[in-house]
Each structure stands twice: as C-alpha cells, then as structure tokens.
Amino acid sequence: MEQAAAVTAGRGYVLIPGLLSAREAERARSHILEQVARSPSRDQRQRLYGLIYQDPLFAELVVQPQVLAVVEQILGRDIVLGGFSAHVLHPGAGRMGIHVDYPYWAMPAPFPAQPILEIQAIWLLEDFTPDNGAPYFVPESQKWCCPPEPEKFAAHAEQITGPAGSVLLSHGLAWHDTSENRSRQPRVSLLGNYTPKFVQPLEDNCYGFEPAAAEKFSPRLQQLLRFNRKPSREPVYPLWERL
C-alpha cells in the first residue's frame, strides 16, 4: 500500500483528503466548540477528551476503514487506541514545541527503528492554512530515530496544509510541531494515537465513559478501546499455579 510506505519508508507522513464530508467536518467542529464554550480555558491550546461517547461520528472516525487499513498495514491488526482527543488552537496560540509522539518521547534515545510503536492520525475539521496553525513536519525524520534538533528542524521542516475532511497520518518518530494561529478563529482538529497492544495507552479511554454509548460500539472499536482484552470464556489462572 503506497500510503503505508509513505509513512514508513518515505516522508514519514501522508495526507489523505476527502475522508469526511464538509457537513461531517463542520458537525464535529461545532460539537467541539460547544464543549469549549461550556469549559473555557485560559490556555491558548485546549484539549478535549471522551468525545467517542458523546457523538457516534467520533466513534466512527476511530475505526474509519481507510485509516485503519493504513495503520494495520504498518502496526498489524492487534493494536489499541492509545488516545483520541480534540486539539483546539485558539487565536494567538503559539507553537507547541518540536517533538516526536508517544511512546517515543517517554523513552531514552536512540529510539528503536523496529517495531514501529505509534501512528498518529490528525483529522482536519477545517482547512489547515499557513495562518491558522497548520503543522510542520520534517520529511524522512522518522528514519533518524533520535530526538528533534531545533536547527535541523528549522532547516528542513515543511508546513502541511489541506482541506477540511482530510486526515494526516504520521509515523510517531517524525519530527513535528504546530505553527502559530494568526487567524481570528480557533483551529480545530482531532488527534488519534494507535499503538501495538503492548504499549501503555497515552490516555484513559474510559474518560467520560457512557455505558449506553459503549454498548453500541462495534467489536473492532471495543477491541481498540481494550474493552475485551480478556475473553470471558477463557479460564483465569492465578500466577502461582504456573510456577
């Protein structure tokens, strides 16, 4: 698959347009901004969690077929959702800071090239432009397996812009940063974090848990959320019985 190869062996990221309609993107964006209005923050960058229990659209995005196909091509099918949250850059928000993604930033360098430990999905809920915080990525930096170097980042980073409804998939080792939001409107995106099952999730996917919503989740989404990590029909043996 060309898109998976672009993430692993190519530039380290790929933009896939048209996965959400304009109406769906606006619906998701409006929902997030309604939550922001209820819980205003003094921070110029704001995160919101528990969205998958609030609107079926968010749950559907986690298991969007084209996104999962690319992620599974890279990480395999036995994966979990490490996190899923909204990221709001308010007008005037500065850069987040150059970084690699979890779990790499929690590990000592040099980072392992294999196995790949994370793929990030950034959902563009509005057009990403040079003025509203569109992110910077350094091409092929996932191959270097080291923490970002500011001078090298400044020399090689490129800004990724695109239309609402797109998704940007990136390797967890790719160096990246947000840019400043110089517009007069908040810029809204969704961040999905996919990892192999042996990686401790970045976020608590039970935050905001709603049983009625969770009961309607597909088996695949329940697996990604670790709701069924232990099959109920298998016996549970105490550790001492295996010694």
pLDDT score at 132: 95
Q: Write down the pLDDT at residue 213.
A: 86
For residue 154, is pLDDT > 60?
A: yes
pLDDT(234) > 70: no
Give the count of beta carbons closer than 10 Å to the beta carbon of residue 234.
7
Which pLDDT does position 242 carry in this prediction? 44
241 has a pLDDT exceeding 50: no
pLDDT score, position 243? 43
**Paired strand residues for 122:** 168, 191
pLDDT of residue 207: 84
Amino acid at 176: H
| CA atoms of 223 and 133, how far apart (whole Å) | 33
Q: Is the pLDDT of residue 5 over 70?
A: yes
At 236 the pLDDT is 52
pLDDT in tens, 47-102: 999 999 999 999 999 999 999 999 999 999 999 999 999 999 999 999 899 999 99
pLDDT band at 4 (very low <50, low <70, confident <90, very high): very high
φ, ψ at 234 (rounded to 5°): -90, 140
190 neighbors 71 (Cβ within 8 angstroms): no
Share of the chain above pLDDT 70, in %: 93
Q: Which residues is 37 bridged to in the sheet?
A: none
Task: Note down the domain range covering 105.
Answer: 2-242
Residues 227-232, mean pLDDT to the nearest whole number: 59
pLDDT of residue 233: 54
Nearest to 7 by CA among 141, 194, 110: 141
209 burial type by CB count under 10 A (0-12 exposed, 13-18 middle, 19+ buried): middle
User: Which helix (H) or strand (E) is 50 found in, with range?
Assistant: none
Q: What is the pLDDT of residues 170-228, one digit of tens each?
A: 999 999 999 999 999 999 999 999 999 999 999 988 888 888 888 889 999 988 998 86
Residue 222 CA from chain centroid, whole number: 18
Number of domains into which the chain is organized: 1
Instruction: Indicate which CATH number applies to the domain containing 205.
Output: 2.60.120.620
115 prior amide bond cis, ω within 30: yes
Question: What pTM does this model have?
Answer: 0.91
Q: What is the structure's pLDDT at 40?
A: 78
Per the prediction, the chain carries an average pLDDT of 92
